[in-house]
Structure 1
């Protein structure tokens, strides 16, 4: 542990700068917990918007950065403007805080700043102060590799015909045009999205990349990306298996659902959640409700407040009477505890990367219903490459009912369940245990940060 000590025997400090949305805050706080357990002092310098819960992480220090978003009505449509605004507004606040840290009487030895790739302003501030930076990639390597490949050959891809939607994307097996990792209008790529993708995926002067991923799961994509960026890569995932059990949730978790799960038969319950950001239409809410009801399978369904786009979260009349105690509906769930519960036998998911890793590493097969960003890419790998999920082809009650029955009660579902359990055991053995790839990458990351000047 000596190599972690700065001047005067103090622990070396690492400053983390997260992007303030649940899917990004979760891996950043987990990384903070992992680094603290390996001997570093850790400060989370976060925007005011969606401030993480300090009480859940007493081992970490927290500092709030002015972000200019107070009173801002954030929506999916205004997201890009908010991100650029945050990158501009947090700059002075972070610089002032770092200078203060460096000038403290007992001089703080800041080893490096680790920032979410969407908080691209951090590298400019750190370069000015001569502090090394490392980028955290909270998405899958397959997603980033496909995104960059598409941008490189965009002229050959856009615009495309409606009839091509299920055709394979050139040189990007197993992806189809349907799985494009960014929004299109009239089958054209949107220019501001291209600019955003380029800016957030440039590592600037950063000296390394940390991945919440596993080399055995994404070896090909990680190799291609490392050749492109030419800095050390540290795939030390899955973070949730190495971090403390402390909650990283921004919403209050309803833990009473765990008592309901205790009363269910092993591997009988379908867990349903569209995650922390995605919204569904009122029609999709109704179709999902009746698909679940008609499947005759027990289910735990997260209906997040505000998750219905422009509508009400109200479930169809008679729905709760029809399903009775076979279904449990909550506003938010302790997902890691749910997925590791023996009663859970399937996960109907939007396929965000945190959910994907949590499901694979608990041996829970998935019904994939992706919406945006990295989700279609993750879903395609789950169903076509790792073969541990089933695609939900349409959000219609009959299709939902049939897919649920297939996964939870059919021969195909048993095969998928066997494959995900085999994959989980193989990955835990090859990456988590001593000598495994993630175990080794974490040791190398600790050594790398400790040796930074």
Structure 2
């Protein structure tokens, strides 16, 4: 009897990383491959609050086994503490899992390259996954060259003020305030920016070491960047296949408010502004007030996702009388079934932080953007949206429809991402037989 291929998947424990890897897991099991998905305990508890994930964990779960490792850091701790604790704790737990199960391959978030080293140490094939634009990944592979040319220092800062980084004529350049590791307001050499920069350095090692690198994009929209990394296998966009139907999107850390869809059903086609800034990005209270008053003055119907910690990490306070004045105009919720919202005919534009998952979802649904990046790769994603694809800010509606068609066709039979994914699935099936 033929052995069923078994794959371990390990994401970095934040929604922007868990969400695309969980979507990938569901697509892999659809091809008859068993998946063990490894979360930290706190992440797993948050996923169970989602009705879809709970159903798949407690029901037949379509071949996915959810395993957990303990959290040994404080929830309010700095990102650096999380990375450091994971490096100390997870290898031992993964080694134990590997001894109990026969895995053919480990797929790990590219920022967790040391997990791939655990796989290699145990004779298991391994693949890196990047939830970023390929352009952002390509930038990290050029960091050693930036050191040599003295454009960037060891703490990630530009040596020369006003310097820009260009990888090719066809990829938007990076200003210092727009590089992947930038963190506005962080000036300490040992602060968050330095920690993110060190992770970017590790990404370069992962890209160099791995036979396969898979990414949530399609070749047609990032051709120049993909050509810089020949081993890159674009398999995106990773979109929930039934986003137009009943089940919620995979990997949400907050319960999705489906009443927003019933509210949208009552609105005219192409009339609603959708505002969402992802799971991490925050604005100041002043910016929050300006956005609220701007939405009110526009007199356009709006659906606004406001996390409890939206304004500078604290509970947002609305301008006096705002909620009463817009009661008939807009709807404010804590979390949305975003793919379904973007696919809804009533939505006319997307005010976004330009995280890569949101960027791919907006592209796939053909919704134009108004960009509000906050940190990291979001600035470069904005450059793609506004300067390369021209589907945000200065909108070209015809080009928007064209890109929607391109990314949707890439995941259909015969498309580039479809073909790449089939190649990858065949690799996974063979991995446990060799």
- Under TM normalisation by the shorter chain, which class is it? 0.7 to 0.9
Asked if 1:374 corresponds to 2:355, the answer is no
Return 44-53 or 114-123, whichever deviates more: 44-53
- CA distance in structure 2 between the aligned counterparts of 1:381 and 1:150, rounded to whole angstroms: 21
- Give CA-to-partner distance per residue, 1:411-435, whole Å, 9 cap, x none: x65xx33321121113323x12322
Asked if 1:43 corresponds to 2:36, the answer is yes
Q: 1:196 aligns with which of 196, 199, 220?
A: 199
| Contact in 2 for aligned 1:179/1:380 (Cα 8 Å) | no
Asked if 1:213 corresponds to 2:206, the answer is no
- 1:312 deviates by 2.7
| Contact in 2 for aligned 1:31/1:243 (Cα 8 Å) | no
1:442 matched to which residue of 2? 421
- Give CA-to-partner distance per residue, 1:171-203, whole Å, 9 cap, x none: 565234242222265699955443221113322
1:339 matched to which residue of 2? 342
| Contact in 2 for aligned 1:159/1:188 (Cα 8 Å) | no
- Give CA-to-partner distance per residue, 1:345-387, whole Å, 9 cap, x none: 1000000111001001101000011111211010111000000
Asked if 1:424 corresponds to 2:404, the answer is yes
- 1:309 deviates by 1.6
Q: 2:269 aligns with which of 266, 271, 277?
A: 266
1:125 matched to which residue of 2? 118
Q: 2:315 aligns with which of 312, 316, 325?
A: 312
Return 84-93 or 266-275, whichever deviates more: 84-93
- CA distance in structure 2 between the aligned counterparts of 1:171 and 1:136, rounded to whole angstroms: 22
- CA distance in structure 1 between the aligned counterparts of 2:423 and 2:39, rounded to whole angstroms: 27
Residues 170 and 434 of structure 1, relative CA distance in 2, 3 Å threshold: closer
1:181 matched to which residue of 2? 180
TM-score (structure 1 length as normaliser): 0.83
| Contact in 1 for aligned 2:181/2:200 (Cα 8 Å) | no
RMSD: 2.3
1:400 matched to which residue of 2? none
Residues 233 and 417 of structure 1, relative CA distance in 2, 3 Å threshold: same
- CA distance in structure 2 between the aligned counterparts of 1:18 and 1:44, rounded to whole angstroms: 8
- CA distance in structure 1 between the aligned counterparts of 2:386 and 2:179, rounded to whole angstroms: 16
Residues 65 and 335 of structure 1, relative CA distance in 2, 3 Å threshold: same
- CA distance in structure 1 between the aligned counterparts of 2:282 and 2:408, rounded to whole angstroms: 33
Asked if 1:247 corresponds to 2:243, the answer is no
| Contact in 1 for aligned 2:273/2:347 (Cα 8 Å) | yes
- CA distance in structure 1 between the aligned counterparts of 2:174 and 2:4, rounded to whole angstroms: 49
- 1:277 deviates by 1.1
Task: Return the structure number with greater relative CO, CA threshold 8 A, min gap 6.
Answer: 2
Asked if 1:330 corresponds to 2:333, the answer is yes
| Contact in 1 for aligned 2:13/2:43 (Cα 8 Å) | yes
Residues 290 and 151 of structure 1, relative CA distance in 2, 3 Å threshold: farther
- Give CA-to-partner distance per residue, 1:102-135, whole Å, 9 cap, x none: 4xxxxxxx22010111222212221221111111
What SS does the aligned partner of 1:360 have?
helix
| Contact in 1 for aligned 2:271/2:346 (Cα 8 Å) | yes
TM-score (structure 2 length as normaliser): 0.87
1:141 matched to which residue of 2? 134
2:155 matched to which residue of 1? none
- 1:206 deviates by 3.2
Residues 383 and 441 of structure 1, relative CA distance in 2, 3 Å threshold: same
Q: Give the 5 Å matches for 1:55-66.
A: 55-57=54-56, 58-59=61-62, 60-66=64-70
**Number of aligned residues:** 402
Residues 351 and 433 of structure 1, relative CA distance in 2, 3 Å threshold: same
